[in-house]
């Protein structure tokens, strides 16, 4: 469903129910319909807030012109949260790939036992990262949770960098500071430090 809401009074102004995922043409048609309503009443659109979908910018420009457009802060933070969790999953996958192959059965010999211990440690690391992945995006951490996060991030600087992203978002409301534009946000100094390491944050 597509809908336009007056955020001052939270009143729905217009809506449309689709039987498919919206397309560029659907958005264009919907905006033109709303533009006609505004024109008939002698009204002018002063600004618009949307979610982070790539479907909106071009139709907005085509129908309403160069009207101020911002992305909802909640959607930006939600997208960042998902990107951080994907990056944590990428780290887990990389750690899993480091596990040394071990033959089945009880390890024999010092080298086999060493490899078995190394594999067990990496398996534990992967499990802990999965079980506690929420700690990388949770807003406030208890002292116990902070210690757990420190332990599971030890030896992997990239993981601490991910938590630093969320800390900065929560602490300074970066989404609001850069106009809630995800493109601008990902070009900010904070995120430019991590784009090479975690390309998933660019999506």
DSSP string, 65-103: -S--EEE-HHHHHHHHHHHHHHHHHHHHHHHHHTPPP--
Bridge pairing between strands 48-50 and 11-16: unpaired
Confidence of residue 200 (pLDDT cuts 50, 70, 90): very low
Average per-residue pLDDT in the chain? 81
Q: Which two tokens stand for residue 172?
A: 């300074």
Instruction: Name which of 63, 31, 67, 60 is nearest 46 in CA terms.
Output: 67
Which residue is it, tokens 């009074």? 9
**Is the predicted pLDDT of residue 183 greater than 80, yes or no?**
no
What's residue 112's pLDDT? Answer: 75
What is the DSSP secondary structure assignment for residue 52, as one 8-state letter? S
Confidence of residue 175 (pLDDT cuts 50, 70, 90): very low
State how far Cα 184 lies from the chain centre.
Answer: 14
pLDDT digits (tens, 9 = 90+) for 113-139: 787 888 888 899 999 999 999 999 988
At residue 155, the 3 state secondary structure works out as coil
Give the separation between CA 128 and CA 150, rounded to whole angstroms: 12
What's residue 111's pLDDT? Answer: 76
Confidence of residue 196 (pLDDT cuts 50, 70, 90): low
Question: Is the model more confident about 38 or about 104?
Answer: 38
Question: Is the model more confident about 105 or about 45?
Answer: 45
Which residue is it, tokens 């007056």? 6
> Bridge partners of 4?
14
pLDDT digits (tens, 9 = 90+) for 60-111: 999 999 998 887 767 777 778 888 899 999 999 999 888 877 776 676 777 7
Confidence of residue 199 (pLDDT cuts 50, 70, 90): low
């Amino acid at each position: 469903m597509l809908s336009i809401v007056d955020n001052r009074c939270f009143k729905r102004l217009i809506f449309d129910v689709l039987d498919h995922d919206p397309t560029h043409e659907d958005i264009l048609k919907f905006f033109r319909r709303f533009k006609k309503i505004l024109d008939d009443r002698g009204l002018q659109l002063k600004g618009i807030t949307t979610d982070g979908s790539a479907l909106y910018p071009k139709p907005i420009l085509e129908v309403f012109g160069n009207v101020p457009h911002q992305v909802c802060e909640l959607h930006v933070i939600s997208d960042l949260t998902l990107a951080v969790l994907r990056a944590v999953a990428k780290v887990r996958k990389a750690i899993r790939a480091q596990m040394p192959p071990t033959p089945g059965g009880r390890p024999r010999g010092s080298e086999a036992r060493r490899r078995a211990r190394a594999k067990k440690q990496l398996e534990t690391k992967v499990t802990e990262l999965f079980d506690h992945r929420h700690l990388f995006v949770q807003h406030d951490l208890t002292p116990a949770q902070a210690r757990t996060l420190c332990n599971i991030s030890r030896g992997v600087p990239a993981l601490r960098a991910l938590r630093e992203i969320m800390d900065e978002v929560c602490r300074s409301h970066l989404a609001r500071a850069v106009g809630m534009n995800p493109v601008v946000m990902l070009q900010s100094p904070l995120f430019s430090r991590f784009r090479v390491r975690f390309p998933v944050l660019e999506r």
